[in-house]
Amino acid sequence: MEEPEIVAACTGADVLLPTVTDRIGAALIAALPASVRLIANFGVGVDHIDLAAAKTRNLPVTNTPDVLTDDTADLAMALILAAARRLGEGERVLRAGRWPGWSPTFMVGTRVTGRRLGIVGMGRIGAALARRARGFGMEIHYHNRRAVPGNDARHWADLDAMLREIDVLSIHCPRTPETVGLISAARLALLPRHAVVVNTARGGIVDEIALANALKEHRIAAAGLDVYDGEPKVNPALLALENVVLAPHLGSATEAGRVAMGERTIANIEAFAAGRPLPDLVNT
């Protein structure tokens, strides 16, 4: 729905329940009927909601953490493997009838065992990916402003320094004004030629043009993306490349995950209706 439609649909409503694709900006929030007293987001990411504007209007915003952690980490691991082992490219070749048959040098990819995985954002999903990647024999490194206590992965406060040391990069931080363009052309240039870059967090954190150029010029080996700047549009420069696996924002897309997200959204609405503290309040 466009903004005016959302506002019109809220007439007489107590709660606005957006999904992660609805833009809930300051103008929309200001135009909402006074009856709306909660924004209960169906999803964990809230970069599409102007939290400050909601706070100014005294509108609490809730989200759905935890319930999609494992599903999203599974997809990140799947993209790491698919990109490193050229699964998308291989399937396209086979389906097109262009498979010449097994040979020692046919579609040789990158081994992940023994490689260093660098996680940007060691939150719930980053930690869940670290658990999975350890099972694949990977060494875990992460970049956060501060070290996460009780974590035996190697912490890097300096992102650039970590990028020089890793083989696989996976993004798990929220999209904020500080993280848009975080993985820039200059930072991609710090990665080794066999590097794999995966983003299951939000589009725009990795500079898509810079990524497409690095992939095209084989300055990195491969990428796996689940999120894009301006979804559902995907940058044509990425679509033209063989060495990137492209998924349509499937991180939380399991039946169990989506049901749990719905239940978590309802739990917040029920708490609001009963005047209880909101379990997943985002704009405290």
Query: So which residues are the catalytic ones?
Result: 202, 231, 249
Q: Which of the residues 17 through 46 are near ligand DGY (CB under 6 A)?
A: 20, 43-45
d(CA 213, CA 131): 31
203 part of the interface to ligand DGY, by CB under 6 A? no
Question: Which residues in the 65-94 window bind ligand DGY by CB under 6 A?
Answer: 68
CB atoms within 10 A of CB 121: 21
Q: Binder to ligand DGY among 251, 265, 271, 272 (CB under 6 A)?
A: 251
If 0-12 CB within 10 Å is exposed, 13-18 middle and 19+ buried, where does residue 276 land? exposed
Question: Cβ 266 to ligand DGY, closest distance in Å?
Answer: 15
d(Cα 192, Cα 220) in Å, to the nearest integer?
Answer: 7
Of 29-37, 131-139, 145-153, 245-253, the segment contacting ligand DGY by CB under 6 A is 245-253
Our CB check for ligand DGY shows the closer of 107 and 253 to be 253
Contacting residue, 170, 179, 252, 265, with ligand DGY by CB under 6 A: 252
CA distances in angstroms from 227 to 63, 126, 171, 220, 223, listed in the order given: 19, 16, 11, 19, 12
Structural tokens at position 103: 């040979």
- Phi, psi torsion values for 86, nearest 5 degrees: 60, 40
Buried b (16+ CB within 10 A) or exposed e, 221-253: bbbbbbbbbeeeebbeebeeeebbbbbebebbe
Instruction: List Cβ neighbours of 8 (8 Å cut-off, separation of 6 or more).
Output: none
Which is nearest to 151 in space by CA: 172, 128, 169?
A: 128
* Shortest reach from residue 218's CB to ligand DGY, in Å: 30
For ligand DGY, the closer CB: 112 or 170? 170
- From 24-32, 121-129, 158-166, 244-252, give the range in contact with ligand DGY by CB under 6 A: 244-252
By C-beta, is 2 or 66 nearer to ligand DGY? 66
Q: Which is nearer to ligand DGY, 80 or 220 (CB)?
A: 80
Q: How far is the CB of 141 from ligand DGY (least distance, A)?
A: 24
Q: Which is nearer to ligand DGY, 224 or 251 (CB)?
A: 251
Question: Under rule CB under 6 A, how many of the chain's residues touch ligand DGY?
Answer: 8
Task: Please answer whether residues 36 and 13 qualify as being in contact, where contact means their C-beta atoms are separated by less than 8 angstroms.
Answer: yes
| Least gap, CB of 229 to ligand DGY (angstroms) | 14
Strands (E), 38-189: 38-40, 61-62, 116-120, 139-143, 154-156, 168-171
CB of 68 to ligand DGY, least distance (A): 6
Using CB under 6 A, list all residues that contact ligand DGY. Answer: 20, 43-45, 68, 249, 251-252
